[in-house]
Amino acid sequence: MDGNLSWVLDRATRIAGANIAVIDGDRRFTYRELDRRVAGLDAGLAALGIQGGDVVGVLALNSHRHFELWHAVPRGGAVLNDLNIRLAAAELRYILEDADTAALFVDDAFLQVGSELAAEIASIRHLIYAGDGVAPAGTLSYEELAATAPRPAPTLPPDALAGIFYTGGTTGRPKGAMLSHANLLANAKHVLTGFGYESDDRYLHGAPMFHLADGATTYALTWVGGTHVMVPTFDAALVAHTIQQERVTISTLVPTMINMLINLPDLDTYDLSSVRRLNYGASPMPARVLTDAMGKLDCEWAQAYGMTEASPLVTICSTEDHRRGAAGEEPYATRMRSAGQPVVGVQAEVRRLDGSAAEVGEPGEIWVRGPNVMQGYWRREEETTAALDAEGWYHSGDAAYLDADGYIFIVDRVKDMIISGGENVYSTEVENAIHMHPDVLEAAVFGIPDERWGERVHAVVVRKPGGTVDEAGIVEACRAQIAGFKLPRSVEFSANPLPKSGAGKVLKRDLREPHWKGMDRRVS
């Protein structure tokens, strides 16, 4: 019997019922209180006719109610669709329709856009107001739902779908990664094994809860009866204040958040001594930011690498690697620039295009396998088949190489790798070189067709206001840092910001497209 997500809160309530489960501003709930509210929501959803397999959308900032929905929606077999709050209305509509969303929860921040979407989308039968005020006309009251008399939790098979998590917009239309109860339970165990949360940990949900980088902790920390501390959205001063006020011990933040935190002008005035570890991940960590952060915040550091399709945790670069690496000790200093090693329970290998194992140092694609790997993309058979092979490997699209100790160094997205004259060029390496020029605000590098070399390195650069660097200046800046065959052969200057997805990732696809019109590319 493999269990389901209801086991997580069940254990916390039994072993730590009097512990504080959630702190959200002035509100705090014990695990017993949380369990009662979650059971009420489950019964309330059932009373609304939400059945097993029905998709329930959530469009909200971080809050105790948002947290409760992660437990309440899957409890009865419904499917959580937690939406990226940075998306535009049209993107949200696409996802809500694609998922056949049956009910939508919105908080005060998203009441208006949620109301409009609910009115337009035929499948949405209920709009539920999860804000702090009185439920407006046309919405149901979250608090009334939560007060429903509980029902016995239905028995769910472990492969029941628990959530559909839509991923990035850098490769086309958003795709819904289908994560089962077993997937999310496996990930929670991997997180606990890798990070060692304890019942007296107080975790700050500083990154948005819809993102699995934060969501990974939602189940893991609950399982050990720890305390979840909420901030509605990342604000460096609010985060510092909350850490001090609630004696936060752990958080997972993305590099830009850490950068904002350490650059608070009054950072020194906060007492952040309760923090025992910060995890970072979800995007590359610039070396300078990490060095600064480790200098300014006296705690342990760990990096996590993963992806929505893996629920998400795949590798960890450990606290020891960071501690000894920061002191300049090898091989830790080098390892500190890696994504780390596969966590217990997950296989991650670097494979060549033909599927064979890459040698140490040889770049290839990261393949991931384990009980945490998604069931597939919602209603996308073709993309599912392309991503998941018959042996259970998920082909991540991330390009990387291994060192002799199994540390994974990520170099690029596979599709952004440039093969020029038979040599591999990683776009990220060239971008990093271009960024060293003080006039550069943004840069994107990709391959464009070249009759002689197959592909050649092309850069699109946005100058800082007042910046005057030209093509020769860019190439010159790069020459000092990277080999000749990696240098941009052409540079294009854009007056506008680079196009980005709702999640803030640069859409290289849009930049690349005009150059490849009517031509086939090696890697799609």
DSSP code of 484?
Answer: G
Contact 142, 105 (CB under 8 A): yes
Phi/psi of residue 287, nearest 5 degrees: -55, -40
Q: Binding of a second copy at residue 345 (CB under 8 A)?
A: yes
How does strand 227-230 pair with strand 20-24? parallel
Shortest Cβ distance from residue 357 to a second copy (Å)?
11
Instruction: Name the residue type at position 116.
Output: E
How does strand 394-402 pair with strand 408-413? antiparallel
Shortest Cβ distance from residue 43 to a second copy (Å)?
19
Q: Binding of a second copy at residue 177 (CB under 8 A)?
A: no
Contact 274, 255 (CB under 8 A): no
The single residue among 5, 9, 16, 469 that binds a second copy, judged by CB under 8 A, is 16
Part in contact with a second copy (CB under 8 A); list of ranges 3-11, 54-62, 96-104, 236-244: 3-11
The single residue among 369, 415, 437, 456 that binds a second copy, judged by CB under 8 A, is 369
- Beta strands of 63-160 (E only): which ranges? 79-82, 101-106, 126-129, 140-141
Q: How many residues bind a second copy (CB under 8 A)?
A: 33
Contact 117, 142 (CB under 8 A): no
Q: Binding of a second copy at residue 155 (CB under 8 A)?
A: yes
The single residue among 123, 141, 193, 384 that binds a second copy, judged by CB under 8 A, is 193
Q: Binding of a second copy at residue 150 (CB under 8 A)?
A: no
The single residue among 25, 136, 196, 497 that binds a second copy, judged by CB under 8 A, is 196
Shortest Cβ distance from residue 182 to a second copy (Å)?
8
Q: Binding of a second copy at residue 384 (CB under 8 A)?
A: no
Part in contact with a second copy (CB under 8 A); list of ranges 8-16, 112-120, 289-297, 507-515: 8-16
Q: Residue 322 in 3-state DSSP?
A: helix
Query: Can you tell me the distance from the alpha carbon of 461 to that of 442, in angstroms, rounded to the nearest whole number?
Result: 6
Q: Which is nearer to a second copy, 17 or 150 (CB)?
A: 17
Shortest Cβ distance from residue 486 to a second copy (Å)?
30
Part in contact with a second copy (CB under 8 A); list of ranges 187-195, 284-292, 299-307, 429-437: 187-195
Contact 216, 313 (CB under 8 A): yes
Tell me the two tokens of residue 396.
């991540």
> Binding mask 32-51 vs a second copy (x if CB under 8 A, - otherwise)?
--------------------
Shortest Cβ distance from residue 184 to a second copy (Å)?
13
Tell me the two tokens of residue 477.
């800046």
Shortest Cβ distance from residue 201 to a second copy (Å)?
13
Contact 102, 55 (CB under 8 A): yes
Q: Binding of a second copy at residue 7 (CB under 8 A)?
A: yes
Query: Can you tell me the distance from the alpha carbon of 476 to that of 458, in angstroms, rounded to the nearest whole number?
Result: 15
Q: Binding of a second copy at residue 10 (CB under 8 A)?
A: yes
DSSP code of 169?
Answer: S
> Binding mask 389-418 vs a second copy (x if CB under 8 A, - otherwise)?
--xxx-----------xx------------
CA-closest candidate to residue 92, choices 210, 236, 259, 266: 210
The single residue among 370, 397, 447, 502 that binds a second copy, judged by CB under 8 A, is 370
Query: Can you tell me the distance from the alpha carbon of 375 to that of 435, in angstroms, rounded to the nearest whole number?
Result: 39
DSSP labels, 13-70: HHHHTTSEEEEETTEEEEHHHHHHHHHHHHHHHHHTT--TT-EEEEE--S-HHHHHHH
Part in contact with a second copy (CB under 8 A); list of ranges 208-216, 227-235, 336-344, 409-417: 336-344
Q: Which is nearer to a second copy, 331 or 449 (CB)?
A: 331
Shortest Cβ distance from residue 339 to a second copy (Å)?
13
Residue 19 Cα distances to 14, 28, 364, angstroms: 11, 10, 46
What residues between 421 and 440 interact with a second copy by CB under 8 A?
Answer: none
Q: Binding of a second copy at residue 483 (CB under 8 A)?
A: no
Part in contact with a second copy (CB under 8 A); list of ranges 12-20, 98-106, 436-444, 492-500: 12-20
Tokens 């019942």 correspond to what residue?
Answer: 199
Give the CA count within 13 Å in the CB-facing half-sphere of 465: 0
Contact 116, 136 (CB under 8 A): no
| Sign of the dihedral defined by the CA atoms of residues 263, 267, 273, 275, in that order | negative
Shortest Cβ distance from residue 196 to a second copy (Å)?
6
Q: Binding of a second copy at residue 192 (CB under 8 A)?
A: yes
Shortest Cβ distance from residue 210 to a second copy (Å)?
25
Q: Which is nearer to a second copy, 10 or 365 (CB)?
A: 10
Q: Which is nearer to a second copy, 174 or 342 (CB)?
A: 342
Shortest Cβ distance from residue 115 to a second copy (Å)?
40
Phi/psi of residue 163, nearest 5 degrees: -155, 150
Contact 277, 306 (CB under 8 A): no
Q: Residue 236 in 3-state DSSP?
A: helix
Shortest Cβ distance from residue 406 to a second copy (Å)?
4
State the maximum Cα–Cα separation within the chain, in Å, rounded to a whole number: 72
The single residue among 169, 342, 364, 447 that binds a second copy, judged by CB under 8 A, is 342
Q: Binding of a second copy at residue 28 (CB under 8 A)?
A: no
Q: Which is nearer to a second copy, 375 or 481 (CB)?
A: 375
Tokens 């004696």 correspond to what residue?
Answer: 247
Q: Site residues (CB under 8 A) for a second copy?
A: 1-3, 7, 10-11, 14-18, 155, 185, 189, 192-193, 196, 223-224, 341-342, 344-345, 347, 369-371, 373, 391-393, 405-406
